[in-house]
Amino acid sequence: MLDAIDDNSYLVADTTVDGIPIVSFNIKDTTDWEYIDSKDLSIVPDDKHFSGTVDEIQLNKPADVTSDKIFLLSLLSDIAPGLGIGDTLPPFDTVTVKPPSQTVSFDNFRYVKINEGNLTLIFHNDLFLGIRSGLKIDVYDDSLGTYITTFIFNNPIPSMSSQASDPVSLQGKEISNKFRFAYTLPLEGSSQPREITQEIADGSVYTVFSMSDLKVDEAWAKIPEQSFNHQDSVDITGEDYKIRHAVLKKAGALISVRNELPLSTDIIVEFPNFVKDGQIKVLEQFIEAGANMDIDVDFSGYELLNPDNPGALIDYVRFDASAKVPGSTGFIRITSQDSFVVDVSMDSIILSELEGQVTGVDVDIEEVNIDSIDVFTDIEGSLRLEDLMLVLYIDNQVNFPIDAHLNMTGYHRDDLNGPITDSVAINFDVRIQPSETSPVTTIILDKNSTTPSIVDLLEIMPTEISIKGLATISGEGSVHENDGLRIRYAIESPLSFHITAPLYYRSELDSIKKDDISDDTRQSITEDLLHASFQLKVTNELPVGAEAWFVISVDSTDMDTTQADEVWKKLVVRAEIASAETDASGYANQARESYINKELTQDELEIFKYYPLYFKQTVII
């Protein structure tokens, strides 16, 4: 038996717990490592086109403009015409006068379409007379010929004072920089004659026109420095991954920018999801008015994270784009529909690390074969290794739970190079723990674990065994590029089995060649001997008995039968072999020796005339 163990890599010398020497059956192998590579950790985002329009143009508060003064004598020309300095102004009742209209012009714009802004008038009364309530000032656009608004002062304006109107909204107004306005002045009367002195003659009225800061939809103006902003995003939620945190092995984007503003602009695109050394990715580029530009952006080595809620799942990658306009010294025509256009074409995002959720990412476990299993090749019949176990050791470097579906198939070939004559496949599912929980998951299958079972598979006495499968990664966890998974397995059992049909063990064919027996010896055997005998000593160390046949034949093709056409063509020695001595547990504890005598007649001795002579033994258990 020790010779059999030495000759067969699948038999192992072992002992029981009581120290009794036994033989164990052991087949073991391992799959190759199946590694996570870049194709398993890649995301293909959609391209994104967005344009940031101006939306609202900010104009600083225009400088206040002051109207021309209308002096007293001009106002009273209808009441007391021809008066001059030194003349006496006679008494007069209250009167309302309408002097000729006047114009004012603002300097920092020529035309605006206002979305938000106010106009306020400050009326100055430097006359010796007061202004009664009801002062009205009608304002028109002198260039466009359109009515703008009317200001009414409901309170009297005493002599040598001023009063501001309520602000009037200009929302929705399209105006030029040149206003025409007309007064309706309700003057107080004078009950006493009054000499016109130089001081009285220099008395006047005038108005200050004051606008607030303006937000306009369209302008022909001097544009102050300002920023236009736009935010957009690219969805990266896929069927397979939901990311909490990742490290990018390779990623990039082509940013195409078109400046459709009438001003040179600093374009700034911020990527708050991409962080390196604590800093987000920022692209800054100066671009001339009306120009186009393509910019390559490299995200390799950056972390991908959720800037708004660290640790939360990332649904999208955000882009914050802005255009900083330095302002103009001259007049520029600009509208709220002028824009800067940004096209973001993302490359595939290849990750080196991923933390988050994975749904149904499949990894093939490539088939591995053990072939040329020769432990059963010399045995015919059927046996069951009832105590057989399949032990799986699954080495997992991936920190995700993995569900694996495995298939193990045994194939039997009557000849190691012949066709498959029988096969049994077993399928089983295993749950592989994340690497941080258990880097090695151990699974043991026995005769009760599957149908058919590992015992059924070995019952066909396979000459080769294959194992393959599919691993599905799902759940919450983390993974790195080049994390791997492999399966080591062992089929093992003490070599005790249930013989369900007679087992035939046939030895390899051997021969007695010409040179093994000299010619003189052959002649003496065949001519000088009338009969002969020989004795076989058989030692059985197995706990079972057997029937043995020893055949010597002149024909190598006629070794498996016990009959011959002529007695000199074949010698057959048959023996009943008793089992070895066994203990109470059934283990062989002492070999049993048997002696078989065979008498050969002169006719049977004739076989030794021939060479080569072939011999083979068959044991039937």
What is the tens place of the pLDDT at every residue in 532-549? Answer: 777 777 787 777 788 887
State the amino acid at position 234 in one-letter form: V
Tell me which H or E stretch contains 378: none
Tell me which H or E stretch contains 456: helix 454-459
Non-local CB neighbours of 201 within 8 Å, separated by 6+ positions: 71, 72, 73, 84, 85
Give the per-residue pLDDT at 11. 47
Average pLDDT over residues 251-264: 86
- The helix/strand/coil state of 464 is strand
Mean pLDDT check: name the lowest of 17-31, 149-163, 190-204.
Answer: 17-31
Non-local CB neighbours of 473 within 8 Å, separated by 6+ positions: 358, 360, 361, 362, 363, 398, 400, 401, 402, 479
Q: Is the pLDDT of residue 416 over 80?
A: no
Burial class of residue 617 (count of CB atoms within 10 Å of its CB; 0-12, 13-18, 19+) = middle
Give the per-residue pLDDT at 501. 63
Radius of gyration of the chain (CA): 55
Could you tell me whether strands 226-235 and 265-276 are parallel, antiparallel, or unpaired per DSSP bridges?
unpaired
Give the per-residue pLDDT at 402. 92
Which CATH number is 48-57+221-347 given?
Answer: 2.60.120
Q: What percent of the chain has pLDDT over 70?
A: 90
**How many Cα atoms within 13 Å fall on the side-chain side of residue 504?**
9
Residues of 226-248 as b/e, b for ≥16 C-beta within 10 angstroms? bebebebebebeeebbbbbbbbb
How many whole angstroms from its chain centre is CA 272?
18
User: Which residue(s) pair with 540 in the sheet?
Assistant: 592
Give the per-residue pLDDT at 373. 64
Give the per-residue pLDDT at 213. 95
Rounded distance between C-alpha atoms, residue 326 and residue 322, angstroms: 13
Tell me which H or E stretch contains 162: strand 161-164
Indicate the pLDDT class of residue 20, thresholds 50, 70 and 90.
low
Could you tell me whether strands 174-176 and 168-169 are parallel, antiparallel, or unpaired per DSSP bridges?
unpaired
- pLDDT, tens digit (0-9, with 9 covering 90-100), for 596-609: 777 878 777 787 77
* Other beta carbons less than 10 A from residue 137's beta carbon: 20
User: Considering only CA atoms, which of 148, 147, 118, 323 is closest in space to residue 215?
Assistant: 118
Give the per-residue pLDDT at 376. 58
Indicate the pLDDT class of residue 180, thresholds 50, 70 and 90.
very high
Q: What percent of the chain has pLDDT over 90?
A: 37
Q: Is the pLDDT of residue 525 over 80?
A: no
Indicate the pLDDT class of residue 477, thresholds 50, 70 and 90.
very high
Write out the two tokens for 37: 């590579």
Indicate the pLDDT class of residue 366, thresholds 50, 70 and 90.
confident
Indicate the pLDDT class of residue 135, thresholds 50, 70 and 90.
very high
Give the per-residue pLDDT at 128. 95
Give the per-residue pLDDT at 7. 44
Burial class of residue 480 (count of CB atoms within 10 Å of its CB; 0-12, 13-18, 19+) = middle
State the amino acid at position 333 in one-letter form: R
Q: Is the pLDDT of residue 2 over 50?
A: no
Non-local CB neighbours of 261 within 8 Å, separated by 6+ positions: 54, 228, 289, 323, 325, 334, 338, 339, 340
Write out the two tokens for 93: 């009742």
Give the per-residue pLDDT at 8. 45
- pLDDT, tens digit (0-9, with 9 covering 90-100), for 202-235: 999 999 999 999 999 999 999 888 787 778 888 8
| Fold that domain 363-495 belongs to in CATH | Jelly Rolls (2.60.120)
Average pLDDT over residues 377-394: 72
Maximal C-alpha separation, the chain: 188
Average pLDDT over residues 576-589: 76
Rounded distance between C-alpha atoms, residue 90 and residue 108, angstroms: 46
Provide the mean pLDDT of the chain: 84
Q: What is this structure's pTM?
A: 0.61
- The helix/strand/coil state of 202 is coil
Give the per-residue pLDDT at 498. 54
Burial class of residue 81 (count of CB atoms within 10 Å of its CB; 0-12, 13-18, 19+) = exposed
Give the per-residue pLDDT at 374. 60
User: Considering only CA atoms, which of 212, 193, 247 is closest in space to residue 356?
Assistant: 247
Phi/psi region, residue 377 (left: phi>0; alpha: psi -120 to 50; beta: rest), is alpha
